[in-house]
Amino acid sequence: MTVSDAGAFRAQILHFTGVPDPLTGAGIEYMEDGVLLVENGRVKAVGRAGDMAQQGLDLHQCEHFPEHLLMPGFIDSHIHYPQTSVIASYGEQLLDWLNNYTFPTELQFADPDFAAVAAAEFLKFLLQNGTTTAMVYTSVFAQSTQAFFSAADKFNMRMIAGKVMMDRNAPTELLDTPATSAADCRELIERWHNTRRLQYALTPRFAPTSSPEQLAVTGKLYRDYPGLYLQTHLSESKQEIAWIKTLYPKARNYLDVYDHYGLLGPRSVFGHGIHLSDDEITRMAQTQSGIAFCPTSNLFLGSGLLNMARLEDAGIPVSLATDVGGGTSFSQLRTLAEAYKVLQLQGQNLHPLKGFYMATLGNARALQLDNCIGNFEQGKEADFILINLGATPLQALRQKTALTVAEKLFALMTLGDEHNIARTYIMGKLAFRRADKAQGALVWMD
Ligand SMILES: [Zn+2]
């Protein structure tokens, strides 16, 4: 085996084999001097450098990054690609924010050329932030979904995405109908679902912008194509919940609207779920429907604090997400920092090992993708990142006094952002590297 056809990467290596238990070390594999071997884009082996050398590996053949932490690429379970330029828009809560910022911007995505440029830009932002897989909302225009899948396919990134379905309570130019949305979805599903690394998610924006007829059509599609995902928003703001009561007066609660149309299940990911009732929690757990926890968005839009312990105690899968552009950063490091604070405000904790588990294997499990990504199990797709632990003078100073891997990770997630991501690899190939850590220049690979 030569390095050129395979790739051998020597660094500090961290990945998870299960839910981490910081006390016993179960679920955590950390190597201060480790080697990751990649062949044909997949993990061939991972182990301690000394052990690998004993088994015959010539360590000189490795690309060596002694100062860097190598780990699986981050996974983001809820993000909107048309909202990249809406990020950091001032002064509104959810419903006004949609009307004043998001809807006008999404109108531009009717133009396929505009959408193609925006999709490539968005994917580059993910790569710069060390995110290699995401579950993505596109816009109501099928051509914007087409543009997104084409770009993701070109970047060879594992992505789940879908066309937004929305037939009321938005500007007329942004509305589809139950019939056109169903036809567009079928065409996109047949073109892209399970094509190379791409999968399709039915994407009704949220119940207020879909008529009962459109949700019925969504349920039919979900049944017609068993491997699909479903993503939508749930119980994000109190104003939204009050609105649901007027739009769906017969529903017992917000979740019941989706339940009625058969949209719950282990492949369904609901953004937010901040204000759920006990009945809704019970039903989420029964159906193994997931919640995407979006702390920067929940704080920014003033939506509320997610009680993660309550969801996890009930057995609901909770994943970690940025929700750009309601969220304020593409970085899962920034997201972890805010998640920690959201939980602190409620007397809960987020252990750094749990946090990094969530951003990698945990999110892979929540998205039913742990058969192919999330850690360095042999045969998995080799999406990984190299992290510079001391990207700023303050971080470098703090890391010097961090004695354990948990301390290093906590300083990283509290102080870090995209500037810590030195390199991002997709299927073993370098896709992005930060050329100069002082200047932060960016270099893109073909
Ligand atoms: Zn969202």
CATH number at residue 30: 2.30.40.10
DSSP state of 349: -
Residue 134 has φ and ψ, to the nearest 5°, of -150, 160
Give the distance (Å) from ligand 1 centre to CA of residue 137: 8
Name 31's bridge partners: 13
H or E stretch covering 161: strand 158-162
Name 15's bridge partners: 29
Last residue of a domain, one of 331, 366, 401: 366
13, 36 contact by CB (below 8 A): yes
Q: How far is Cα of residue 185 from the mean position of the Cα atoms in its chain? A: 22
Give the distance (Å) from ligand 1 centre to CA of residue 326: 7
Exposed/middle/buried for residue 262 (C-beta within 10 Å: 0-12, 13-18, 19+): middle
Please state, in angstroms and as integers, the Cα–Cα distance from residue 102 to each residue in 84, 137, 332, following that order.
10, 13, 22
Give residue-wise pLDDT tens across range 233-253: 999 999 999 999 999 999 999
Tell me: pLDDT of 1 over 50.
Answer: no
Give residue-wise pLDDT tens across range 272-326: 999 999 999 999 999 999 999 999 999 999 999 999 999 999 999 999 999 999 9
Which among 33, 65, 161, 40 has a CA at the least distance from the CA of 421? 65
Pull the structure tokens for residue 169: 């309570």
Tell me: pLDDT of 39 over 50.
Answer: yes
Exposed/middle/buried for residue 350 (C-beta within 10 Å: 0-12, 13-18, 19+): buried
Q: How many domains, the chain?
A: 2
* Nearest-10 crossing angle of helices 178-192, 212-224: 20
Say whether both 219 and 339 belong to one domain: yes
Say whether both 85 and 233 belong to one domain: yes
Give the distance (Å) from ligand 1 centre to CA of residue 289: 17
Give the distance (Å) from ligand 1 centre to CA of residue 165: 14
Domain that holds residue 398: 3-73+375-444
- Mark the residues whose beta carbon lies below 5 A from ion ligand 1: 271, 323
Tell me: pLDDT of 218 over 70.
Answer: yes
Give the distance (Å) from ligand 1 centre to CA of residue 80: 6
pLDDT band (50, 70, 90) for residue 92: confident
Give the distance (Å) from ligand 1 centre to CA of residue 233: 6
Give the distance (Å) from ligand 1 centre to CA of residue 79: 6
Say whether both 180 and 242 belong to one domain: yes
Give residue-wise pLDDT tens across range 322-331: 999 999 999 9
Say whether both 69 and 82 belong to one domain: no
Give the distance (Å) from ligand 1 centre to CA of residue 412: 26
Say whether both 360 and 390 belong to one domain: no
